[in-house]
Structure 1
Amino acid sequence: MGDRRRARGECRRRRAAVRGLCARVRQCDARRLRAGAGVGAAFGTADGRRRGPRPALDGRRGVPPDAPARGHGGGPVRSCLIADDHALVRDALAATVAARWPDAEILQASDFPTAWSAAARAPDLCLADLDMPGAAPVEGVEALRAAAPAMKILVVTGSFDDAMMLDLLARGVHGFAPKSLSADVIGAAIALVLAGGRYLPQRLAEMQMPERHFAPAPPPRLLTERQLEVARLMARGQTNKDIARSLGIAPATIKTHVAQVIALTGAANRTEAAMRATALGLL
């Protein structure tokens, strides 16, 4: 009876995570429409119609060979593999990557065998779910590592098993992000992983460092001067609007900086982020 309740609870959590990501896709589409680009500019033709069925694996963004790579923290991303068996989740993650690294080639896979084939192309980054057809989670991720040893792997999933995550960390995975996170926080988690850090749920970080109150944080250089300014004002208890007035920038920009500070310090919320930054001597 207990196993059945746990299974039902897990199903509800996964459905909630997928609904959240679907809502983010709709928000991204709405922003593109307001900007005049149209939904089709991201996933189809200019008038919003799709160019026929999309394969499970594709190079989403065709950019000129001589186009410079651009990004926002953590270094450039030339190509990114997104592996998830839900198309809406893949689209939401692709929109997050494209917003930060517009020149990155996006590869998609809906199962582990397709992901292994794509990994042979040695992308810089892989955003992978754990529960996909074709292999068990640990075996599937281990094969991804074998196919592209230099590729950074951030697991984006709605299912968390502490023992499995510790096992995957020992096998070289670079972090875990819940599907319930906002696009800004997932983007900051990607930047942290690309910069050589690890993005971990708080409880997992505490399991790795049982004698320390705070989980390991990235070196201070990963926080920009603007992020440090925002973190200092967060530590004083200022709201996003207060910080925006103090620094003379838009509240929406402050919201993004706050999300990045939270992610880069490995915190669960703004209060904890300020505490960690203070304890680590960043402020």
Structure 2
Amino acid sequence: MRYGGPSGTLAVSGLNLEIQRGEFVAVVGPSGCGKSTLMKLTTGLHIPQTGKVVVAGNAVTKPVSIVGMAFQNPTLLPWRTTLDNILLPLEIVERHRHRLRANKREYKEKAEVLLETVGLKGFGEKFPWELSGGMQQRANLCRALIHEPELLMLDEPFGALDAFTREELWCVIRDLHASQDVTIALVTHDLRESVFLADKVVVMSARPGRVVSEHMVPFERPRQLDILYQPEFNELVQRLHGEIATARAAA
């Protein structure tokens, strides 16, 4: 994938990655290595100049409807309540759009269940400016899940939050993955986050990005936060840190 024409920036090259249905994969690497480009290629927001992307058995040639996405900035619309922000994708996703008007109560009930799942019960009628940053990100996750995506793409969703709120949301994502039939791909700079959440951690090279290693995370689920202080956990984190430092030095 190259930006800016034939002589532009080569973002990724020789990038090969396979994610199984139901798997939780974290993607880490040096800044500018193409992690976000990988997300955009997977979701069909970009189409590669060479090579191909296949999601759920279909070649990606346009934006993929079975995907939910959450970014570092929750981007909730300030004039809509939290509940109405969560329902927004249903106005866009074709298979839900025609049902939304006739079945709005059903969808609202579903949104309320999601809010309760992420610890926001009773906050549906609040506006985004009445919520903390962590609460907004919880609502953002609900919005990404409301249309029952088969694939959830998370691009640095917790990067702007304080450490305690971030760890709380790790547990929310852990429980969502355990309870829903969803495949998750997480782009993150936080190596502890990647090891705590993922089944597999993928390390990318410096730009142009490609996969240089894959690590299966050996710790049983469900993982509790006290695993962060276990030697085996931190050994894997340090191994990942070393690989990224090597990739950065090779740039």
TM-score by length of 1: 0.29
TM-score normalised by length of structure 2: 0.32
| Greater RCO, CA 8 A, separation 6+ | 2
Higher helix share: 1
Say which structure is richer in strand.
2
